Amino acid sequence: MFLVTGATGDLGRRIVRLLRERETSVRSFVRLNSRYAELENRGSEIFIGDLRRERDLHKACQGIQYVISAHGSGETRNGDAETIDYHATVELIDQAKAAGVEHFVFISVLGVDRGYEDAPVFKAKREVEKYLQASGLSYTILRPSGFASNLLPLAEQFRQTGVYLLVGDPLSRTSIVSTDDLARLAIESTATEGARNQIFSVGGPEILKREEIPKIFSRIFNREPFLLNPPLLAVDGLRSAIGLFNPRLRTNLGTLRTLLANEFFTTPTETERLESTFNFKLETLETFLRRYLGV
């Protein structure tokens, strides 16, 4: 039996779907107020709880072989990195170990080891990585770049308006990962010998300049892009203004700024390592988008 945290998230629900397609038993850790009907309809066991409560984590881990930790604070949306990304995950590791879990998969983030001081999510995830490595549990750490599924609402908006908002340097590079490929990697990490006690950087198969994304949209929808390209300074201005009345949101926007100000891509060597360890080819951003957008 798998336990998936963050099961109602973009990644988590894909992990649960894929497990159920493979007829594997899975327990989805969800909050009462979340949208979990789809997971239940697919045959997942539903565990209602809150990751901030130790007893919920304790109960959820009973009878579990594999944990996939795919929750997140949604910190760029004013969540709490310290409570959810750090404390809850460390507690989940402790409870998994106590319950005799065989393998723990942790979804970290690409660039976590670069020491970004201004990005609480990155700091929390790095500390969790170290904790997991020292825990004695068998583990796999996946460090993904940005998810392709993040772009689906932007693509829909582009379909309607032709507008694409690109904040910061259009030439900075990224290697956006198919969220479905990441779900598959997370699941297969539990049964792949070469993934045991390993850390993988996970990106898509191509390195894109950010300005190429509206060009992909343009090809898909056969529509000329209208690019809005405010400088990063606009985010800094917004942060300062917000800081006057909401200091926590100001701190949280540090993670967003870090994401916008830096390059997040995987090298061909890293991609090759991933594809050969897991024995499948990663899909491109365009293939992912076309599958979901039906074009």
Interface with ligand NAP (CB under 6 A), residue from 18, 20, 24, 31: 31
Residue 289 makes contact with ligand NAP by CB under 6 A: no
Residue 166 φ/ψ, nearest 5 degrees: -125, 110
Output the smallest distance, CB 70 to ligand NAP, in A.
5
Distances (CA, A) of 36 to 11, 69, 79, 92: 14, 17, 20, 21
130: enclosing H helix or E strand: helix 120-134
Q: Which is nearer to ligand NAP, 153 or 222 (CB)?
A: 153
Interface with ligand NAP (CB under 6 A), residue from 3, 15, 51, 92: 51
Report the candidate in 267, 282, 255 with the shortest Cα–Cα distance to residue 112: 255
CB 203 within 8 A of CB 232: no
Q: Which is nearer to ligand NAP, 50 or 223 (CB)?
A: 50
Q: Which is nearer to ligand NAP, 158 or 174 (CB)?
A: 174
Residue 26 makes contact with ligand NAP by CB under 6 A: no
Report the candidate in 261, 295, 265 with the shortest Cα–Cα distance to residue 282: 265
Q: Helices then strands (H, E): number in the chain? A: 12, 11
Residue 72 makes contact with ligand NAP by CB under 6 A: yes
Interface with ligand NAP (CB under 6 A), residue from 52, 114, 130, 219: 52
Residue 34 makes contact with ligand NAP by CB under 6 A: yes
Tell me the two tokens of residue 88: 């809850």
Q: Which is nearer to ligand NAP, 69 or 214 (CB)?
A: 69
Q: Which is nearer to ligand NAP, 173 or 223 (CB)?
A: 173
Residues touching ligand NAP, count (CB under 6 A): 23
Interface with ligand NAP (CB under 6 A), residue from 27, 71, 123, 257: 71
Interface with ligand NAP (CB under 6 A), residue from 18, 48, 65, 74: 74
Report the interhelical angle of 89-98 vs 120-134 (nearest 10°): 20
Residue 68 makes contact with ligand NAP by CB under 6 A: no
Q: In a 10 Å sphere around its CB, with 0-12 CB exposed, 13-18 middle and 19+ buried, how is residue 3 labelled? A: buried
Q: How far apart are alpha carbons 220 and 101 in whole angstroms?
A: 44
Q: Which is nearer to ligand NAP, 92 or 101 (CB)?
A: 92
How far apart are the two ends of the chain, measured CA to CA in Å? 37
> Which residues inside 81-120 make contact with ligand NAP, applying CB under 6 A?
84, 107, 109
Distances (CA, A) of 54 to 94, 95, 96, 198, 227: 10, 8, 12, 27, 47
Residue nearest to ligand NAP (CB): 9
Pick the stretch among 57-65, 141-149, 265-273, 280-288 that binds ligand NAP (CB under 6 A): 141-149
Which residues contribute to the site for ligand NAP (CB under 6 A)?
6-12, 31, 34, 50-52, 70-72, 74, 84, 107, 109, 144, 146-147, 150
